């Protein structure tokens, strides 16, 4: 299960010339979704007091509904490319390279623009266990990214 944390520090404003180095100390693994955890945030500046950091943690972006949708998409089409942009207008050099390869082989394929939906982009990384895009699926199986396609 992937975990994303967003930090917001509650502290008085520091002068722009005051160089402060902060360290966050975690005491246990976070596994609950949508819960707020509070940790001490320490400063190396002697005149300042300890500050409190609030972390908002979110569980996996791959919800069961998204997983079911992705299963249907990759199995209902022989070749599916999750990419930045569309096959007519790629918005990334790597996506463009894979589109050119598939076009040169006269392979009919569908494309899904991952830039249109942040949850799709994050969930797809977990679904395929592959951190980058484009992601090519052939007959329901993850094939790889641009480097593997080349």
What are the structural domain ranges in the chain?
60-149
Please state whether the predicted TM-score (pTM) of the whole model is above 0.85.
Answer: no
pLDDT at 58: 52
Least confident piece of the model among 15-24, 45-54, 75-84, 97-106: 15-24
Higher per-residue confidence, 12 vs 57: 57
Q: Provide the percentage of residues in the chain whose pLDDT is more than 90.
A: 57
pLDDT at 60: 76
Residue 141 has pLDDT above 70, yes or no: yes
pLDDT at 126: 92
Tell me the average pLDDT of the chain: 74
What are 60's two structure tokens?
């996996």
Query: Looking at residue 149, what DSSP letter applies?
Result: H
Q: Listing from the earlier edge strand, what are the strands of the sheet with 110-113?
A: 110-113, 79-83, 135-138, 141-144
**Which tens digit of pLDDT belongs to each residue from 73-111?**
999 999 999 999 999 999 999 999 999 999 999 999 999
Residue 5 has pLDDT above 90, yes or no: no
Q: Quick one: CA dihedral 125, 141, 139, 146, positive or negative?
A: positive
Fold of 60-149: Glutaredoxin (3.40.30)
For residues 118 and 62, give the distance between their C-alpha atoms in angstroms, rounded to a whole number.
11
pLDDT at 2: 43
Give yes or no for a cis peptide into 19 (omega within 30° of 0).
Answer: no
Q: Which residues pair with 82 in a beta bridge?
A: 112, 135
**Closest-CA residue to 101 (of 50, 143, 44, 53):** 143
């Amino acid at each position: 299960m992937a975990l994303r944390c967003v930090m917001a520090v509650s502290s008085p404003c520091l002068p722009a010339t005051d160089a402060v180095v902060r360290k966050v100390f975690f005491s246990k693994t976070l596994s609950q979704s949508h819960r707020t955890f509070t940790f001490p945030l320490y400063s190396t500046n002697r005149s300042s007091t300890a500050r409190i950091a609030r972390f908002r943690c979110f569980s996996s972006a791959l919800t069961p509904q998204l997983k079911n949708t992705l299963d249907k998409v990759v199995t209902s089409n022989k070749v599916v490319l999750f990419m930045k942009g569309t096959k007519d207008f790629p918005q990334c050099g790597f996506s463009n390279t894979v589109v050119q390869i598939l076009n040169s082989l006269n392979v009919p394929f569908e494309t899904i623009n991952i830039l249109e939906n942040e949850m799709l982009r994050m969930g797809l990384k977990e679904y395929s266990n592959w951190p980058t895009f484009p992601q090519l699926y052939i007959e329901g199986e993850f094939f790889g990214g641009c480097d593997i396609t080349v």
